[in-house]
Amino acid sequence: MRFGIEGTLGGEFCFIFGRIWSVFELFILFNSIAASFPAVVTRIIMGFVAGIIALTRIDQPILPDWIIKTLYIDAANKSYLAVVLMYHYHNNPIAITFSRLLCNLTYFL
């Protein structure tokens, strides 16, 4: 084997080493793909479990506040807050007193 001008090995050695490196890299690729499947399945199962546990608490949002304000994707918490706001608007003591005064006023007219 002779060294080239730049100090590298000759072409035949690089050709054989390149083929060996390609086979090794292909082995590493398939090995990493095979190793990632259990991680993906585990992550999906953990996500489902965390989602089911978090859905039992509709008074607390599942996601952080900045995600809720930007994406509006927590449907269970949004519907709970809508019911709370509807109850607040329709059972406000000042609004109820005002509506009763209006009803009494129209009853006498």
Confidence of residue 4 (pLDDT cuts 50, 70, 90): very low
pLDDT per residue as tens digits for the range 12-70: 556 677 778 888 889 999 998 888 888 888 888 888 887 777 676 666 766 677 776 77
Length in residues, the chain:
109
The residue type at 87? Y
pLDDT per residue as tens digits for the range 67-96: 767 766 667 667 888 888 888 888 888 888
Confidence of residue 11 (pLDDT cuts 50, 70, 90): low
Per-residue pLDDT at 9: 56
Among residues 96, 62, 64, 99, which one has the least CA distance to residue 79?
62
Task: Please provide residue 91's backbone torsions phi and psi, each rounded to the nearest 5 degrees.
Answer: -120, 25
Confidence of residue 105 (pLDDT cuts 50, 70, 90): confident
Name residue, tokens 């089911």: 52
Q: DSSP secondary-structure letter at 34?
A: H
Cβ-contact 73, 67 below 8 angstroms:
yes
Three-state SS string over 73-103 comes to: CCHHHHHHHHHHHHHHHHCCHHHHHHHHHHH
Among residues 55, 92, 53, 103, which one has the least CA distance to residue 75?
55
Per-residue pLDDT at 7: 53
